[in-house]
């Protein structure tokens, strides 16, 4: 089909040598015939301003995949990897230059993130496997990201994953230069973050009965009426945030409101319009019972929750969900109707906007910015809100035109809970079809935006909803290698994109994923379009 028509990217200059197995494709690469030999004799020389711990993860990675131990050195020597900071030599934020010749490796970063990403590139050049020495290809790479926001989302409400696994995945995200982890912590099927002020979130909202959930073929062990659930303690949350920060990944927490709130309502039924009783959802979907927008207790509860959340996630955006909120209960609720009247609102859509604005003002008082799914545009967008465009591109386009920041996550293009193949025997997924090629060909900046409007597009994110991901191996099967396509569209220049080259490099990455104990799908072997 169309593979032959894909323009060969400008990133690999004509006449340069072999294609390096890197993902994302750097801005500029040229290769030489020389090689640098990495061995136990190679030292790591940390230049001015680079903290000794900065290269520790790189030393660990090299040891893990090859057995080679690199020592750090204060003095510059031959047979060394030199790390330097120089924001003049590398003017772009998060950018780096990497030069490998026979004698040495020189890595110059614009900032610490740049040095970090250069080390990721260097890590990717190492073929995994035990060895006394590894040959690194001679090259000169100049690189920096296209987008400042390069994200992956993970739903831990429908199914939860261990802290150790989250850390492993954070390592992998960093390896591909993704810098944002959007952590979907609450939903109808379970509340997964410890909030000390509201203990019933832990004892009630964190659990559900497993009788109806899922699909018999995929989840036979779940049809036994057992309780499913759990939550991340505040200590675990802090640990994840610390771990991510060391890897230049920002963690954005999501606390869903006003919809997708059934687990919280089960714990605190007085926050729903009918007063309950409710039951943490035992099947997937969208539920009519949402937080009551006419009850001030709802706002007391949510601001109480958010105050603890703000303390756990320093500096990040706070994502408040905002998607898929049915208005059925609000229509029948005297308190909600009174609020509509008192606040001179036109309808329930404006009531939702009132809800989000009130939360946004609270976050602003804590110096935090609100992020939400594109339904937060309904009834008017809160000042300063950043929009995540998931139902398509329209929400993102509208928000950018209004001068709001936007992250593009359109479901039909980049959802990783959708099928990656058309094989009838493929493992059950949410529906939809987002093969590797489709994600790779997605262009995050909608063509209808003017250059000035396009600047509001911060970047792009892939979303991993976990309804049909009951365990780690299924989650990895769905995430990898598709996350690699996302990583490349988020980082590499548009002109450098070349699907044929991407497939070759993805095959080479398979080994590296396995060295990191990740089991990817082999979706690159499927003819998908």
Decide: 97 and 108 in contact? Cβ < 8 Å. yes
CA angle, 402 then 405 then 407, to 5°: 125
Write down the residue that tokens 């714990």 correspond to.
267
Please identify, using beta-carbon distances, which residue of 117 and 465 lies nearer to ligand TNX: 465
User: Mapping DSSP to helix (H, G, I), strand (E, B) and coil, where does residue 113 land?
Assistant: helix
Instruction: Tell me if 390 contacts ligand TNX by CB under 6 A.
Output: yes
Please identify, using beta-carbon distances, which residue of 105 and 406 lies nearer to ligand TNX: 406
In the list 169, 191, 456, 465, the residue contacting ligand TNX (rule: CB under 6 A) is 465
- Give phi and psi for 257, each to the nearest 5: -160, 160
In the list 111, 171, 210, 417, the residue contacting ligand TNX (rule: CB under 6 A) is 417
Instruction: Tell me if 73 contacts ligand TNX by CB under 6 A.
Output: no
Shortest distance (Å) from residue 285 CB to ligand TNX: 8
Shortest distance (Å) from residue 467 CB to ligand TNX: 6
Decide: 255 and 309 in contact? Cβ < 8 Å. yes
* 324 assigned to active site: yes
User: Mapping DSSP to helix (H, G, I), strand (E, B) and coil, where does residue 374 land?
Assistant: helix
Site residues (CB under 6 A) for ligand TNX, limited to 292-331: 323-324
Annotated catalytic residue within 324, 350, 398, 411: 324
Shortest distance (Å) from residue 323 CB to ligand TNX: 4
Site residues (CB under 6 A) for ligand TNX, limited to 232-271: none
Positions of E strands within 102-169: 104-109, 133-143, 149-155
Shortest distance (Å) from residue 417 CB to ligand TNX: 5
In the list 181, 373, 477, 499, the residue contacting ligand TNX (rule: CB under 6 A) is 373
User: Would you call the peptide bond into 190 cis, given omega within 30 degrees of 0 as the criterion?
Assistant: no
Instruction: Tell me if 288 contacts ligand TNX by CB under 6 A.
Output: no
> Residue-wise over 466-487: b if at least 16 C-beta within 10 A, else e?
bbbbbebebbbbbbbbbbbbbb
Please identify, using beta-carbon distances, which residue of 194 and 467 lies nearer to ligand TNX: 467
Shortest distance (Å) from residue 373 CB to ligand TNX: 4
Distance CA 480, CA 486 (A): 10
Distance CA 268, CA 343 (A): 26
Pattern of binders to ligand TNX over 132-161, x per CB under 6 A?
------------------------------
Please identify, using beta-carbon distances, which residue of 324 and 350 lies nearer to ligand TNX: 324
Structure tokens at 351: 């009531």
Please identify, using beta-carbon distances, which residue of 13 and 432 lies nearer to ligand TNX: 432
Shortest distance (Å) from residue 103 CB to ligand TNX: 51
Instruction: Tell me if 430 contacts ligand TNX by CB under 6 A.
Output: yes
Residues touching ligand TNX: how many (CB under 6 A)? 9
Shortest distance (Å) from residue 113 CB to ligand TNX: 29
Instruction: Tell me if 428 contacts ligand TNX by CB under 6 A.
Output: no
Distance CA 290, CA 297 (A): 14
Give the H/E segment covering residue 253. strand 250-257
Provide the Cα torsion 340, 342, 345, 348; round to 10°.
-10
Decide: 83 and 52 in contact? Cβ < 8 Å. no
Structure tokens at 375: 């339904």
Residues in contact with ligand TNX by the rule CB under 6 A:
323-324, 373, 390, 415, 417, 430, 465, 467
Which residues form the catalytic set?
Answer: 324
């Amino acid at each position: 089909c169309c593979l032959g028509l894909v323009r060969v990217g400008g990133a690999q200059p004509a006449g340069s040598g072999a294609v390096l197995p890197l993902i994302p494709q750097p801005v500029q690469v040229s290769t030489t015939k020389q090689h640098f030999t990495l061995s136990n004799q190679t030292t790591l020389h940390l230049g001015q301003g680079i903290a000794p711990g900065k290269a520790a993860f790189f030393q660990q990675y090299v040891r893990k995949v090859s057995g080679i131990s690199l020592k750090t050195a204060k003095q510059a020597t031959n047979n060394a990897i030199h790390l330097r900071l120089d924001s003049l030599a590398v003017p772009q934020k998060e950018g780096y230059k990497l030069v490998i010749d026979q004698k040495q490796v020189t890595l110059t970063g614009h900032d610490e993130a740049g040095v970090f990403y250069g080390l990721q590139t260097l890590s990717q050049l190492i073929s995994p496997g035990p060895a006394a020495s590894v040959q690194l290809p001679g090259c000169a790479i100049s690189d920096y990201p296209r987008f400042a926001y390069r994200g992956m989302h993970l739903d831990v409400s429908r199914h939860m994953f261990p802290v150790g696994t989250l850390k492993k995945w954070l390592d992998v995200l960093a390896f591909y230069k993704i810098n944002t982890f959007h952590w979907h912590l609450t939903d109808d099927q379970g509340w997964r973050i410890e909030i000390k002020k509201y203990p019933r979130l832990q004892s009630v909202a964190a659990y559900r009965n497993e009788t109806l959930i899922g699909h018999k073929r995929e989840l036979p062990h779940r049809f036994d009426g057992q309780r499913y659930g759990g939550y991340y303690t505040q200590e675990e949350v802090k640990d994840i945030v610390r771990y991510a920060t060391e890897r230049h990944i920002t963690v954005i927490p999501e606390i869903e409101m006003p919809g997708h709130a059934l687990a919280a309502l089960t714990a605190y039924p007085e926050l729903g319009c009918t007063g309950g009783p409710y039951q943490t959802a035992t099947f997937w979907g969208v539920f009519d019972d949402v937080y009551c927008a006419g009850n001030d207790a709802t706002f007391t509860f949510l601001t109480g929750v958010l105050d603890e959340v703000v303390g756990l996630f320093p500096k990040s955006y706070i994502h408040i969900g905002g998607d898929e909120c049915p208005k059925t209960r609000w229509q029948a609720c005297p308190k909600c109707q009174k609020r509509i009247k008192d606040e001179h609102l036109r309808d329930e859509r404006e009531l939702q906007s009132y809800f989000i604005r009130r939360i946004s003002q609270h976050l602003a008082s804590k110096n935090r910015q609100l992020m939400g799914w594109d339904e937060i545009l309904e009834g008017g967008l809160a000042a300063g809100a950043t929009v995540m465009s998931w139902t398509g591109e329209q929400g993102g386009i509208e928000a950018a035109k209004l001068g709001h920041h936007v992250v593009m996550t359109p479901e039909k293009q980049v959802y990783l809970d959708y099928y990656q193949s058309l094989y009838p025997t493929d493992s059950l997924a949410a529906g939809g079809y987002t093969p590797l090629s489709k994600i790779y060909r997605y262009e995050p900046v909608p063509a209808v935006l003017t250059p000035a409007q396009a600047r509001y597009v911060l970047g792009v994110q892939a979303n991993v909803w976990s309804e049909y991901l009951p365990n780690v191996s299924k989650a990895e099967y769905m995430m990898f290698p598709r996350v690699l396509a996302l990583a490349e569209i988020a980082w590499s220049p548009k002109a450098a994109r070349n699907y044929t080259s991407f497939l070759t490099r993805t095959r080479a990455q398979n080994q590296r994923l396995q060295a990191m104990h990740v089991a990817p799908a082999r979706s690159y072997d499927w003819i998908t379009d």
